[in-house]
Structure 1
Amino acid sequence: MKWIKFFCLFLLFSLLPFYIRAEHLIPLIGLPSEDAKSLYSYSSDAAEIEFFADGFWNMGLKQNIFLPFDIKQAVKLDMPVFSQEIELSVWFLLNKSWYFEAAFAEGFEKNSIAAGYYGEGFIKHIRLANRGIHFSDLFSSMGLSKDENETPGIYAAFGKDNFQSEAFVRLESSTSHTRQFIGQANINGNLKEDREWLRGQFFTLPSEALTKKILAVYVEDEKGKYVSETFSKTAFRPLTE
């Protein structure tokens, strides 16, 4: 009886997940609201440091245990499986101007790290990040607002009185496409092995050395001795005959 209680207790703790969850809300871009509560705060005559967090980090440990009613069967313990789900952002703020931000999402596959500065003068915002560099919603009517860019860059916002300007520099992901033309004809190139057959009406060989590598040339002939299974059983004969 004690043996069964021990395994039941072990099963209970094996299937019990544990969680770490932070629910102090703070916008990632923008200074904290006045009613936001920091998880850590330190201030002195020279500096004021605050730490904020927003999101969740769920972690769990699961293990399957097979307890047979037949004493002849062995107890089976599967290997414990660790799982986690994270959507977490942390924010360090220095003197309500300088900040460091780190965000973790989609199982650590989309992590972002950023550092920046907020000002009340001509320089409003400077941000350096590994992703998410784009214009603000102020330019949404011009089609220049947020996009799904995942490349690093730097962003800056300036303003004074009725003037406001934004600029950014970032790496752009791009792909290259090439085409080859002879006159108005688009040439499509395909690589073939030496042992493969090439079928066509005209062939242009770029060098005399390449002609020496041609083993044989065949032409279609109903009386040909060579029948191709590849080309609908077409009969061929050597060109030299």
Structure 2
Amino acid sequence: MRIAILSDIHANFPALEQTLKSIDEQKIDAIYCLGDLVGYNVWPNAVINEIRKRHIPTLAGNHDVKAVDIHNDGSKDSGSYAYQIVGKEQISYLSALPAHIKLEYQTADKPIKILMVHGSPYSNTEYLLEDKDEKKFTAIFLDTDTDILICGHSHKPYHRVLENPNKKGCYFHAVNAGSVGKPKDGNPKCCYAVITINKSSDFSKKEGIKVEFIRVQYDIEKAAQAIEQSDLPDSYAHMLREGY
């Protein structure tokens, strides 16, 4: 089973287009999106429509929730422009997105439990960074009864393996999928994750699953110039060009 994970598209339709082309060229069995479809760019409706057209299971990111709140409040503040341009039909879609996706895959030894979140299992605004204290990180796995925890929100991809303190020789896997539309790791190319799990996956080994981070080139100038020609801050364009 090869699973593609998208996250943090942030209304960057050119980035999403090229990412989906990359996914289509591979043998992918399922695609999931961890949210933040909107914010920071001018194509929120095109992004939402493409995700819906492809029937990609998607979570509510903090920016998606913010867009719904702004529409419900009727805010016309200049700082909320990125959310005001989201259409009513698209807002209705965002308002129905779940906070978590849980999956279970059967390996030769045991069922593997996967939890997908935007930020953390407790909040879509909490960052699970790669250098998080090991005891605190493993406590999340134990609390949620999870073998693989997949998140986004920080826009910084990583795969971290942690030993289960209650079962020596058994490991947890934390995966951050990075960002499709607004990378913050110094590389402006789109990023998505591909996770491979199969019947022979052995969680008594650190290499129990395979995680790949795929970087995709897209027309960054098109996306950056669209920002500069809109009511959005020009600083967003600079962030795209520099990958931060």
Q: How high is the TM-score relative to the length of structure 2?
A: 0.21
Higher helix fraction: Structure 1 or Structure 2?
2
Greater relative CO (CA pairs within 8 A, separation 6+): 2
Higher strand fraction: Structure 1 or Structure 2?
1
Rg larger for: 1
